[in-house]
Amino acid sequence: MSHEVLEFDVSSNVLLEKAKKDGAETIWDRQIAMKAKCGFGDKGLCCRICAMGPCRISPVEGKGAQRGLCGATADTIAARNFARMVAAGTAAHSDHARDIAHVMHMANKDGNYKVKDVGKLMKLAAEWKLDTEGKDTDEIAHELAEKALMEFGKPFGVQNFLTRAPKQRQQIWKDLKIEPRAIDREVVSLMHSTHIGCASDAESIFEMSMRTSLADGWGGSMIGTEFSDIMFGTPTARGTEANLGVIEENMVNILLHGHDPSFSEMVVLAAEVPELIQLAKEVGADGINLVGMCCTGNEVTMRHGVKIAGNFYQQEMAILTGALEAVMVDVQCIFPALARLSDCYHTKFISTSPKAKITGSTYIEFNEEHALETCTQIIREAIMNFKNRDSSKVLIPQIKSKAIVGYSVETVIQHLDKVVNSQTDVFNTVKPLSDVIWAGVIRGAAGVVGCNNPQVKHDKSHITLIKELIKNDVIVVATGCAAQAAAKAGLMTMEAKELCGRGLKEVCERVGIPPVLHMGSCVDISRILDLVSRVAIERGLDNSNLPVVGVAPEWMSEKAVAIGTYVISSGIDTFLGITPQITGSEMFTNLLTDKIEEKVGAKFFFEEDPIICAQKIMDRIEEKRDRLGI
């Protein structure tokens, strides 16, 4: 097959040739086998939430079925399908967060899991009005964890973190009755409302979707981020490298893939155990080389500088190198295909989470009580597998880029402090950022996030769009697989300032940052919400007044749907490079891309061409600037 889909990625072509030789199957082979997409599903018009159907609505008005057996219209079906994606995405992020809170509840200064950032713990304790008088760190951590766990199921009240939003935004949520209550409740409630014969009003379904999504952004995701920082350390700027070239020929290579840092952190810890390193040398390797992928890759690179092997679409490529002793996974975004693919090589494919047992994998259950022990065992398995490597099957593309990662909100502010004049301003604020936006030195900011999707050329949308934006003095913050695409393209280096307009270049030089800031994993989009809200509050405005946007050029997961929805619900326009499966309903499409702005001050834009998308983003930014008179 021809792999023109990969024109943007020189390393993959070589590996795909190799795959053919090795008899290995990849996502592109399956894409070809899949042939054309289902036209009804693609438009969101297939309903299979009850057993009367599946029903499918004709996309052509006045021709064919216009209603399902129950009478649900295209509007209802598209809205319900969308809502259920939001619920699933929210569930995924939040369940991840719940695990972190549980880990914090186990925090023990003598145990595997210790509180790393006591300062942040105390700050959050104060924010959540926890009485800390006379309590030691572990006690405070346990009580705060309990409070966090209550956020999932508390019978009354709304999410604690909502107060971080600008007052105007909180009022909008209150007025629309979309302040998220307990996280689990919002997911459950939305699942209930989209059950057969429940809500059919598309607008109402979308409002409930917004409320559920906010339980993700300002609930689950934010807990996931903040509690991970407390337990594993708040990220600070550090160097790393990205792309398959970080896999090393003479090392025991272990790929970490998935999402939950309570697992990956322990693996990082175990990989430093001297006996294991010694063992690796005994089997003839130079040492242990841990490399990351997807959001777990982001978590460990942000906190430890662990090298990034690649993003979502490269999970198969990494195995195709033939140089991985083990692939260790926990939850989310893991191809079931990895099991079969690993069988073509000596690679051990180890699943660890009871939430994500994978057919054909070696299952070694990770449980937090015996965290280090389990991880040591897994690494030992990997080391012992080194001798089984078939060097004739090894091909590591020698391609990698340097990157600076680790821009938590705290680290961003710390960098901004460098340009504060102590005679005119105070430290520890986002005022310098708001100043340069107001002055026009940078025109605005874009959060570029999301996955990879074989519907578009991999990484091409990410990179083309980001380059367009920074060239036009729009600063970019990135998370998830989008961030990894930028890292691989060298956009997270100081040198990348040369690709920027003069204004952004000046900011990069003076603040000492790259033009594209890696803010973490997909739950860490909560950091972006936090940062944007701080700028709005600094100016006494709402998020929707600011010239900032969210973009997901290559999204694919349900989590991304939840994210996009909470981002617009937070007043930030969201540009999607993949059109969501809703276009079968003109009404619902119109709601998301236009009408919703009247309610929340932001809307969705669908644009698959990255150049045109960048132009639309800049037009929208300038529109917001004009409204502000800046």
Partner 1 sequence: MNLFKIIYSGKDQYLELAEKMVQKAIDEKGRDAEVKFPSTAYSLPVIYAITGEKIATVGDLEKAIVLAKEFIHEGRLLQDALDSGTASAMLAEIIEAVKYTLDAEPYKAPLQGHLTDAQIRAFGVPLVTQDIPGVAVIIGECKDAETAAGIIKDYQAKGLLTFMVGKVIDQAIEQGVKMGIDLRVIPLGYEIESVIHVVSVAIRASLIFGAVEPGNFEAHKKYTKDRVKAFVNVFDNWDDKIIAAGAAAIELGFPAVTETFINEVPTLLLHQPDNSKVVETSLEVRNIKIKITNIDIPVGISSAFEGERIRKNDMYAEFGGGRTKAWELVRMKEMSEIEDNKIELIGPDIDTADKIPYNMPFAVIVDVAGRSMEEDFEPVLERRLHYFMNYIEGVMHIGQRNIAWIRIGKESYEKGLRLADIGKVIYAKMKSDFDKVVDKCQVTIYTDPAMVEQLEKEIALPKYATRDLRLASLIDENVDTFYTCTLCQSFAPAHVCIVTPERLGLCGAVSWLDAKATKELDPTGACQPIAKTGVEDEEKGIWTEISNAVATASQGAVERVSLYSILEDPMTSCGCFECICGIMPEANGVVIVNREFGTVTPVGMTFGELASMTGGGVQTPGFMGHGRHFIASKKFMSAEGGIGRIVWMPKELKDDVRDRLNATAKELYNIDNFVDMICDETIAVESEAVLEFLEAKGHPALSLDPIM
Site residues for partner 1 per CB under 8 A: 416, 419-425, 432, 435-436, 438-441, 443, 472-473, 501-503, 506, 510, 622, 629-630
Looking at the Cβ atoms of 398 and 424, the one nearer to partner 1 is 424
Least separation in angstroms between CB 509 and partner 1: 10
What does each C-alpha distance from 157 to 144, 162, 170, 210, 533 come to in angstroms?
A: 17, 11, 14, 17, 22
Looking at the Cβ atoms of 54 and 501, the one nearer to partner 1 is 501
Looking at the Cβ atoms of 443 and 457, the one nearer to partner 1 is 443
Least separation in angstroms between CB 615 and partner 1: 13
Looking at the Cβ atoms of 143 and 435, the one nearer to partner 1 is 435
Least separation in angstroms between CB 537 and partner 1: 18
CB atoms within 10 A of CB 425: 13
Q: What tokens does 552 get?
A: 């997901």
Looking at the Cβ atoms of 442 and 466, the one nearer to partner 1 is 442
Least separation in angstroms between CB 48 and partner 1: 49
Instruction: Mention every residue, 6+ apart, whose C-beta is less than 8 A from residue 602.
Output: 543, 544, 567, 568, 569, 570, 571, 572, 573, 574, 596
Distance in angstroms between the alpha carbons of the first and the last residue of the chain: 52
Looking at the Cβ atoms of 224 and 444, the one nearer to partner 1 is 444
The DSSP bridge partners found for residue 324 are 253
Beta strand segments in 114-174, E: none
Smallest CA-to-CA distance from 481 within 257, 214, 237 is with 257
What does each C-alpha distance from 609 to 28, 471, 576, 578, 620 come to in angstroms?
A: 21, 17, 10, 9, 16
Buried b (16+ CB within 10 A) or exposed e, 45-74: bbbebeeebebbbebeeeeeeeebebebbb
Least separation in angstroms between CB 625 and partner 1: 8
Q: What tokens does 125 get?
A: 């304790």
Looking at the Cβ atoms of 432 and 584, the one nearer to partner 1 is 432
Least separation in angstroms between CB 148 and partner 1: 36
Looking at the Cβ atoms of 166 and 503, the one nearer to partner 1 is 503
d(CA 99, CA 310): 25
CB atoms within 10 A of CB 434: 19
Which residue is listed with tokens 């926890």?
Answer: 130
Least separation in angstroms between CB 98 and partner 1: 40
d(CA 149, CA 105): 9
Looking at the Cβ atoms of 52 and 630, the one nearer to partner 1 is 630
Looking at the Cβ atoms of 124 and 507, the one nearer to partner 1 is 507
Least separation in angstroms between CB 427 and partner 1: 12
Looking at the Cβ atoms of 293 and 442, the one nearer to partner 1 is 442
DSSP 198-209: S---HHHHHHHH
3-state secondary structure of 493: coil
Q: What tokens does 62 get?
A: 């006045």
Least separation in angstroms between CB 429 and partner 1: 11
Are 253 and 310 a contacting pair, CB within 8 Å?
A: no
d(CA 250, CA 248): 6
Are 357 and 335 a contacting pair, CB within 8 Å?
A: no
Least separation in angstroms between CB 432 and partner 1: 4
d(CA 223, CA 344): 40
Least separation in angstroms between CB 533 and partner 1: 21
